[in-house]
Structure 1
Amino acid sequence: MTVADQTAEDDAVSGVEIQLEQVTKRYPGQKEPAVADFTMTVPAGKIVIFVGPSGCGKTTTMRMINRLIEPTSGRITIGGEDALSLNPDELRRKIGYAIQQAGLFPHFTVSQNIAVVPGLLGWDKKKIEDRVEEMMDLVGLDPAQFRDRYPRQLSGGQQQRVGVARALAADPPVLLMDEPFGAVDPITRGNLQDELLRLQTELRKTIVFVTHDFDEAVKLGDKIAVLGNSSTILQYDTPDAILANPADDTVAGFVGAGASLKQLTLLRVRDVEVKNEALTAGVDEQIADVREKLAKQRIPYVLVLDQRRRPVRWAHRRDLTAATSLATAGRPLGDVVSTQSTLQDALEAMLAEGGAVPVTGSRGEYVGTIDLDTVMNTIQQLRAEHGDES
């Protein structure tokens, strides 16, 4: 990387460095501190994951950054500014916060929920409206469809997207995430993880993310802090370094068996060959034209794309015999993966779908398909490189 490239990369980072120095939290009546002498630097523009068993102090540590929990002692700086010297409310308005089950205000609409912090900061009405629309589009929710809905009218995954949009609405440099995807089903969870990684490539925030799921930590983290009792740092390193060389038996327990296969969570779909063998058709195309294309190419299926070129359905040629529109022909897609998805996500999606799955780009647009042969060849290469540890 040249000096110019490095400068451009640094300029693209909107996050700031966080430093915690000997941060301790003691609760009255408890012999041991909840957090003891915690010292760490969270790099600007990176995702750092706190992972550890329940009760180890990881959430307490994270909440001391925005002073939802006040530290007993120690020093916290955010972008070089002493967080403990600021008014707590002012501090929290500079830090996005996303939690499990979204924590949305039930009596507010989606747009009102997203507008909360900009409103507290005194933004004018037009600026807030524009920002709400921008954030909804960014997290993949059509403003026209979802703006006026209430949280109860949304799925769990949609609620979490609104929660992330609200946390980012005022463009804070730091985002804290406390097991934000823990309450949704596995497929939705994987999609939300992909969405977060996609957003991070655009926004480059500093993100501190708490989870008890090591696989999630490996997928999302630029660095992982494996924590023990009282938030003791057992190992703080990159995911690949922790997978290759766990610091001790406790960390090895988090890594678990099959470390070579866990390398699939380090590789993204963008790292392997995405094929362009599927026939695609816009949802408004004529049935007769699509049937002619299928016959000419001698393939059985067409992938139907919506007006924004997002994959929505698979249709077999026999489905087109009686169909009047591609909008209803065939079956809705059960699962897709994005270029941000891991190869483990892709493998799980293929097993669920029974074959190749569509791959989408940064805005959900179709870019190709990935098949089982591609993933299996990659697994064989990894096992050859690392030995059969599975």
Structure 2
Amino acid sequence: MTELDTARTGADTVSGVEIVLENVVKNYPGQSRPAVDNVSMRIPAGEIVVFVGPSGCGKTTTMRMINRLIEPTSGKITIGGNNALSIDPDRLRRGIGYSIQQAGLFPHLTIAKNVATVPGLIGWDKKKIAQRTDDMLDLVGLDPDVYRDRYPRQLSGGQQQRVGVARALAADPPVLLMDEPFGAVDPITRGLLQDELMRLQSDLGKTIVFVTHDFNEAVKLGDRIAVLGDQSHIMQYDTPDAILASPANDMVAGFVGANASLKQLTLTRVRDVPLLDCPTAYADGSVDELRAAITPRKIKWGLILDARDRPIRWVSLGHLAHATSLQDVGDPIEEVVSTQSTLQDALEALLAESSASTVVTGRRGEYEGLISIDTLVNHLSAMREEHGPNSENGETSVAGPPS
């Protein structure tokens, strides 16, 4: 047991631990002002707290003082009630997950060996490490049999970032520090990675400190947001909806921007709105049965699923008219959102596909339903009726198949 061992709430359920910063200061030699000046805050156990602020404000420095990659000049930091400054730095860091932009993987090591780095350092036996490595790859949506023996250069940027998260979680730390981890990937992959992080958090309940300069990302991910100004002065520290509804000052209002009502879409998850359904079949299923299921419906589309219930292709009655097998029929699915996605993600997916609906998947990529532009419009209408036409506190909804 280490100083940072977590509280157990169930056989396989790990919760994070509270982090408290008290009057933390960082001075650099030759600088007339502190880089971080007298920061005090409490980060609740099991929550995602996002540090957001302009470049150079000190948000990354503040985060790195938690695991002492940067040593505080003065002040106190406790993790799970233990004084982080009294713990050996190497031992401290092995008990805290750390994920950075572009993953920071070791290029000469296989994916499995990258993930196993910290468990190996803390003395786990080989069998336990191998099992944990496979579990972590599966947890972040990478098939261990496919990716275990590959090297980072053989993976896409999004896949590398998933491996980085798996490595950060491999030793089961109560705390995970994430320094702009998704900043170097394209917007679509970034949204998927954000969804994956929220899914993992719902399963694991870690305490996560996440640094970003993107306020939309902060609103989407954060249980709480700390808007930081120069020298990491805390301009506002509150829930996303409270900050959107009532920015503390002009600087925070600048981050919120003029489209606060649109950002409210980020506060509602796809799982919170009704989904539509459509006929489904497996690739080895019957063409006639799928055709019969689609024919009486108003919208003449269905979905082909793989053996793990993951949607792979759209099919229409036109596709099925002369088909003798479902193996290769239909159009590939280009855009999906997960139940963890926000309504803003859903809207962006609908716009990207120029479609009336998009597919919703669950925790392991399995089919859950459809979200449509009609549902989105209906939800907006309901929000306006509830709050009035000028409300800044709206939510949104979505469901349905392609046009």
Change (3 A) 1:387 1:232: farther
Give the alignment's TM-score, normalised by structure 1. Answer: 0.94
Q: How many residues align?
A: 382
Change (3 A) 1:199 1:164: same
| Pairwise CA distance, 1:294 | 3.1
Change (3 A) 1:369 1:298: closer
Distance in 1, Cα, partners of 2:270 & 2:362: 10
Larger helix share, 1 or 2: 1
Distance in 2, Cα, partners of 1:74 & 1:174: 20
Q: Within the alignment, does 1:69 sit opposite 2:70 as a pair?
A: yes
| Pairwise CA distance, 1:387 | 4.7
Work out whether residues 14 and 174 of structure 2, in 8 Å CA contact, stay in contact via their aligned partners in 1: no
Moved more, 80-89 or 169-178: 80-89
| Pairwise CA distance, 1:307 | 0.6
Deviations 1:338-359 (A, max 9, x none): 1111000011111122121111
The equivalent of 2:390 in structure 1 is: 388
Distance in 2, Cα, partners of 1:188 & 1:329: 27
Work out whether residues 258 and 389 of structure 1, in 8 Å CA contact, stay in contact via their aligned partners in 2: no
Deviations 1:329-380 (A, max 9, x none): 2222111111111000011111122121111112211111111111122223
Work out whether residues 182 and 193 of structure 2, in 8 Å CA contact, stay in contact via their aligned partners in 1: yes
Equivalent residue runs for 1:304-383 within 5 Å: 304-321=304-321, 325-353=325-353, 354-383=355-384
Work out whether residues 316 and 330 of structure 2, in 8 Å CA contact, stay in contact via their aligned partners in 1: yes
Distance in 2, Cα, partners of 1:300 & 1:127: 50
Deviations 1:163-201 (A, max 9, x none): 100000000000000000111111111111111111101
Give the alignment's TM-score, normalised by structure 2. Answer: 0.91
The equivalent of 1:254 in structure 2 is: 255
Alignment gaps of 5+ in structure 2 = 1-7, 393-403
Equivalent residue runs for 1:167-186 within 5 Å: 167-186=168-187
Equivalent residue runs for 1:58-97 within 5 Å: 58-97=59-98
The equivalent of 2:149 in structure 1 is: 148
| Pairwise CA distance, 1:328 | 2.6
| Pairwise CA distance, 1:213 | 0.5
The equivalent of 1:216 in structure 2 is: 217
Q: Which amino acid is 1:225 matched to? A: A
Equivalent residue runs for 1:295-306 within 5 Å: 295=295, 297=297, 299-306=299-306
Q: Within the alignment, does 1:272 sit opposite 2:269 as a pair?
A: no
| Pairwise CA distance, 1:297 | 4.4
Q: Which amino acid is 1:31 matched to? A: S
SS in 2 for 1:14: coil
The equivalent of 2:208 in structure 1 is: 207
Percent of counterpart pairs with the same letter?
67
Distance in 2, Cα, partners of 1:213 & 1:260: 17
Moved more, 354-363 or 323-332: 323-332
SS in 1 for 2:56: coil
Q: Within the alignment, does 1:55 sit opposite 2:46 as a pair?
A: no
SS in 1 for 2:29: coil
Change (3 A) 1:99 1:386: farther
| Pairwise CA distance, 1:8 | 6.8
The equivalent of 1:243 in structure 2 is: 244
Q: Which amino acid is 1:64 matched to? A: M
Alignment gaps of 5+ in structure 1 = 1-6
The equivalent of 1:37 in structure 2 is: 38
| Pairwise CA distance, 1:292 | 3.9
